[in-house]
Amino acid sequence: MGVPAFPGKSAEPSVSFISLWSRTATEGDREPGEGRMVGGSGRHGPAGPYADVVQDRRFRLLRTRFRRLAIGIVASFLGWYFLYISLSAFARDFMAYPAIGNINVALLLGILQFVSTFVLAWRYTRYARRMLDPLSAQLRQEAEQRQADLERHEQILAERRRIENWTPQPRHGRRRR
């Protein structure tokens, strides 16, 4: 264990739960506790408390749900945005058509861009709260519990080694006669 860089902060890098979203580990020939090779890039997967989470089917389900939601939201936003840009560039007569009084179609569609952004953010938040957060919290709690159990086990082993290696210290001072 290294010397803390700042008081109360460890100098050792930690594996965050979020950093696992971008990687999946593949099983290979390895010892328990070693980092896993990820894909063909030569990167090592997490070897900390979240190493087993990456292999859990619930984590894969979580990633699939997140990916499906993110792709849907990004595709709908970009599609709507590029439609607006295309109409502005190629359908000038349509965009200049007055919709309500002096307000034309271009202005209405521009305002709808902002509205759609907030609707997509609301949709993401609602979906994440219902479908992603509970599963994520469950996986995180299990991983933290495994880590706590591992640390408790290591502490017991260290205490056992300390007791086994204990030798009485010679007494210095007065001797009995």
In a domain, residue 141? The reply is yes
Q: Which amino acid is at 40?
A: G
Whole-number pLDDT of residue 177: 58
Scanning the chain, the segments in alpha helix (DSSP H) are 57-90, 92-96, 105-127, 133-164
- Bridge-partner residues for 38, per DSSP? 43
Count of alpha carbons within 13 angstroms of residue 152, beta-carbon side: 6
Whole-number pLDDT of residue 149: 92
In a domain, residue 173? The reply is no
In a domain, residue 168? The reply is no
Tokens of 66: 């997140």
What are the mean pLDDT values of the chain's consecutive 10-residue runs (177 residues total)?
A: 45 47 45 46 58 86 94 95 95 93 93 95 95 93 89 94 85 66
Query: Is the Cα dihedral 69, 71, 74, 77 positive or negative?
Result: negative
Angstrom distance (rounded) from CA 130 to CA 67? 15
Whole-number pLDDT of residue 38: 46
Q: Range of 102's domain? A: 48-161
What's the pTM? 0.59
Whole-number pLDDT of residue 175: 61
Whole-number pLDDT of residue 54: 85
In a domain, residue 52? The reply is yes
In a domain, residue 75? The reply is yes
Residue 50, SS3? coil
Instruction: Collect all residues with Cβ–Cβ distance below 8 Å to 23 and sequence separation of at least 6.
Output: 38, 39, 43, 45, 46, 54
Whole-number pLDDT of residue 74: 95
In a domain, residue 72? The reply is yes
In a domain, residue 127? The reply is yes
Number of domains in the chain: 1
Query: Is the Cα dihedral 5, 10, 12, 17 positive or negative?
Result: negative
Q: Which amino acid is at 60?
A: R
Whole-number pLDDT of residue 53: 83
In a domain, residue 155? The reply is yes
